[in-house]
Amino acid sequence: MISKRVTILATFIALLFAGSAWAQTAVTVRDLNKIPDANLTELNQKGADLTDAEVASLIMPEITGDQVQITVVVLSDPYDSGLSSFDDTRGGPNRINVFVRDIAAATDGVEGMGMQITDADYENTGLLNVLVGDVIRVTGSLGYFGTTSQFVPESIEPLGSYQDNGLPDSILDPVLIDGTDALNTNVGEFTNQPNWDNYSDLINQYVRIENATILRRTLAETGRPNWNLSTDGGTTFTQNDDLSLRYRNDRIGVYENPPWNTRDAGAPFEPPAPGSLVNVEGFVVFRGAFEAFEFVGAPAGTFMQISPFTDDDLEILAEPTITNVTVEGPDFVPGSDPVTVTVNVEAANPTDIANVAVVYTTSTGNVVSVATTPQGDGSYTAEIPSEGDGVFVAYIAVAEDINGAAFESTSGSYRILNDGINSIEDIQQPASPEESGENGSPFEGITTPMSITATVQTVDILGSGVATVQDDPELGPWSGLSVVIPEGTSVAPGDVIEITEATIGEQFGVVTQLNDVTMSVMSTGGTPYAYLTVPTTALQDEAVAQAHQGMLLRFENVTITQADAGFGEWAFSSDGTPDNEVLADDVSPNLSSDFNTTTFTDGDVVDVIQGIWWFSFGDYKLAPGVPGDISTDIEEGELPGTFALDQNYPNPFNPATTIQYTLGAASDVKLTVFDVLGREVATLVEGTQPTGAYNVTFEAANLPSGLYLYRLETATHSFTRSMLLLK
């Protein structure tokens, strides 16, 4: 404790000599959380019809990106932060997440006063050394990762404890909210979205929900358990978010303990059983895309979640009669014989179990309930009759207690293949590709013989020893796959391999990968299959996106819509619009961590971007293998027939700047300027123009300082760039 305080003091003294570091605009956290009134009206009016891009734009306050100063009290222990991957070279994660509350909450009320500080430079800022109850003055700016608001610090000044500053003990207390309906509203069966009227008050807030019922959970002793809860019978709900090391198990043995507060390997976190009555405290977050159950947001991921941080934040008031129901299906590829599944039911008292059944559905449209036979040891078996070759079967176990309450297991699935697995499609294709985010290979987790002959496409791009292979020279869907090559075996692109046995695994629920592979190299020195050329618009359909996972894809004549989409990623689009963009990233060891920011600028038009199509952290994306997978052979404006939008000059500017663009053919043209919230502030050109190069002056004397976007649109092209007005 003393060493932490000494470190903080030393940091403070060093910062005092930094001169102007503290000459910043002081704001309250409430200013950072405030959705503009017009935007709030639009959020409520559009409701479930909102797009992801609209949500991200509308929730941002005007102060986003400005350098400001806030004075806050620390509410969470930095050593509980567990969201980021651990970096052994620095002895800590790549960033930490610490929740704080504005000290003005003591006099002005807690509404809107919670904030999440996300810090990748915590050793230098001193954030790692703060304690719960410390008061700190933070200089930095509000930023967003998708829809997640976070304050990024540049410097931190320690001001002592909250008692030293005359603040009441209540400054550390959670806010009691009515229930899950305070966070989210119902917009359809099992579908919620944020209660927008409460968003500004509750985002990043430390809250308490009492007498909630656990609806669903997943168990993961070495992974990331999920659970959700409701206070109104499931009409509205909130889902957990595991920002804390105390509520996830995939960090056990990865984060160093001490000092990080990971759980012991023998005591992983286990969510309460469905039906449990709980009180829960935690921090309200809005991260999007993380949906663990059939309870979903509209649009996807759009509901506010709760992230408890300490063990005491979750209190179980009452256990259900039945505590857990699991079902085990075949560990082989079924053929023409019936399939036996085993159900395990855990209950406080076996006599509380009234009935256990297995309900299965088939891809041919059958829905059947099958009675089970008790085995006398808490398990039950059921036989699912055989179906035709190629049919998918999904199944779930349902146990009822003596009070009539039903408890469901998670679902399982398999596919009937009378001849076994002899193509990548047999492994890859799920029963319901339209539910690609929730539906991976029907053979996940089994080790099985197979007979697959495939051509190696890439090696070591998605990880050391990982190859991607394809088995269809016509480049049809479901023909790509990741394979972990056995140690001691060497392969190169163009080699043909035969796989005779493997364990079928899934990453992120949709990325199928073969592990523990038995294989042989049939031929070497061949040529990989060609890249399949597709537009980004086609991949907005998740079923299409999943069907091409593991394949080599090529995109031509695309516009960079986000040169820096975070974490080394960038975004591009075939039609120049963010609505049809896809992500690419620097997962390849051949690309530097700053490849995107040193290669692209928003609005650049790139001739070719190609790579492996895969999925990670909530998004399908492209993984180029080498810098040569990105090609721009024609410079902007170099040849007749080229359409281009150049960077404005000067930039930054005050109050006027020049925008130059080139038309490769006579076109209907519109040149428009927008602010960062997407509001149109000026139309500079609108009409028909002949082929040629044009210069337009933009006068911004009546506009405030800030970042602006300018967009050139024709019938065939769309370009967007950014410019900075500094007064």
The single-letter DSSP state of residue 550 is T
Amino acid, res. 588: S
Structure tokens at 29: 């956290």
Indicate if 10 and 158 belong to the same structural domain: yes
Shared domain for 714 and 597, answered yes or no, is no
Measured over the CA atoms of residue 679, residue 683, residue 685 and residue 687, the dihedral's sign is positive
Do 194 and 296 belong to one domain? Answer: yes
Phi, psi at 502, each rounded to 5°: -170, 160
Q: Are residues 74 and 189 in the same domain?
A: no
**Is the Cβ–Cβ distance between 409 and 343 less than 8 Å?**
yes
pLDDT, greater one: 311 or 534? 311
In 410-550, the DSSP E strands lie at 412-415, 447-459, 466-470, 480-484, 496-507, 511-523, 532-533
CB–CB of 357/371 below 8 Å?
Answer: yes
pLDDT (0 to 100) of residue 459 = 93
Residue-wise pLDDT for 177-234, tens only, equals 999 999 999 988 888 999 999 999 999 999 999 999 998 888 889 899 999 999 998 8
User: Is residue 22 over pLDDT 50?
Assistant: no
In the block, which residue shows the tokens 């080139």?
662
Residues 588 and 611 both lie in one domain: yes
Tokens (6 digits) for 273? 């059983």
pLDDT, tens digit, 9 for 90 and up, residues 604-635: 999 889 999 988 877 889 999 888 788 764 33
Do 654 and 713 lie in one domain? The reply is yes
pLDDT value of position 81: 96
Same domain, 358 and 303: no
Q: Is the pLDDT of residue 668 over 70?
A: yes
Based on the domain organization, do 224 and 307 belong to the same domain?
A: yes
pLDDT score of 509 more than 60: no
> Tell me, what CATH number does 373's domain have?
2.60.40.10
CA separation for the pair 348, 199 (Å, rounded): 40
Question: Same domain for 277 and 180?
Answer: yes
**Residue 637 reports pLDDT greater than 70:** no
**Of 671, 723, 721, residue with least CA distance to 560:** 721
pLDDT of 636: 38
Rounded average pLDDT over 342-350: 90
Q: Is the pLDDT of residue 643 over 80?
A: no
Output the DSSP codes for 349-403.
SGGGEEEEEEEEEETTS-EEEEE-EE-SSSEEEEEEPP--TT-EEEEEEEEEETT
Confidence of residue 642 (pLDDT cuts 50, 70, 90): low
User: Which of 107-116, 313-322, 592-601, 641-650 ranks highest by mean pLDDT?
Assistant: 107-116
Statement: residue 510 has pLDDT above 60 = no
Q: How far is Cα 114 from Cα 228, in angstroms, rounded to an integer?
A: 22
Same domain, 30 and 152: yes
101/652 Cα distance (integer angstroms)? 35
Instruction: Pick the last residue of a domain from 415, 440, 463.
Output: 415
Of the three residues 415, 448, 480, the one that is the final residue of a domain is 415
Distance between CA atoms of 33 and 184, rounded to whole angstroms? 17
Contacts of 13 (CB under 8 A, 6+ apart): none
Residue 638 lies inside a defined structural domain of this protein: no
Q: Could you tell me if residue 541 is inside a domain?
A: yes
At residue 246, the pLDDT reads 97
Q: How many domains does the chain contain in total?
A: 6
Q: Are 91 and 227 in the same domain?
A: no
pLDDT band at 667; cut points 50, 70, 90? confident
**Considering the domain boundaries, does residue 496 fall inside one?**
yes
Q: Which of the pair, 690 or 641, is modelled with greater confidence? A: 690
Per DSSP, the residues of 258-317 read: TTS-PPPTTS---PPPTT-EEEEEEEEE---S---SS-EESSTT-S-EEE--SGGGEEEE
Domain with 699 in it: what CATH number?
Answer: 2.60.40.1930
Contact 331, 342 (CB under 8 A): no
What average pLDDT does the chain have?
Answer: 87
Q: 573-589 in b/e burial notation, b at 16+ Cβ within 10 A? A: bbbbbbebbbbbbbbbe
Helices (H) and strands (E) in the chain, counts: 11, 46
Task: Identify the pLDDT of residue 508.
Answer: 59
Q: Pairing mode, if any, of strands 581-584 and 619-623?
A: parallel
In a domain, 61, yes or no: yes
The residue range of the domain holding 197 is 175-316
Q: Is the pLDDT of residue 91 over 50?
A: yes
Q: How many other β-carbons are positioned within 10 Å of the β-carbon of residue 655?
A: 13
Of the ranges 21-30, 361-370, 404-413, 429-438, which is most confident?
361-370
Give residue 341's pLDDT band: very low, low, confident or very high (50, 70, 90): very high
Domain CATH for 10:
2.40.50.140
pLDDT tens per residue across span 529-562: 988 888 898 888 887 888 889 999 989 889 999 9
Residue 282 included in any domain: yes
| pLDDT score at 18 | 40
Residue 639 lies in a domain: no
Q: Which of 134-138, 143-147, 689-693 has the lowest mean pLDDT?
A: 689-693
Domain's final residue, options 502, 523, 544? 523
Residues 6+ apart with CB under 8 A from 188: 48, 298
Residue 636, in any domain of the structure: no
Judgement on whether residues 218 and 287 belong to the same structural domain of the protein: yes
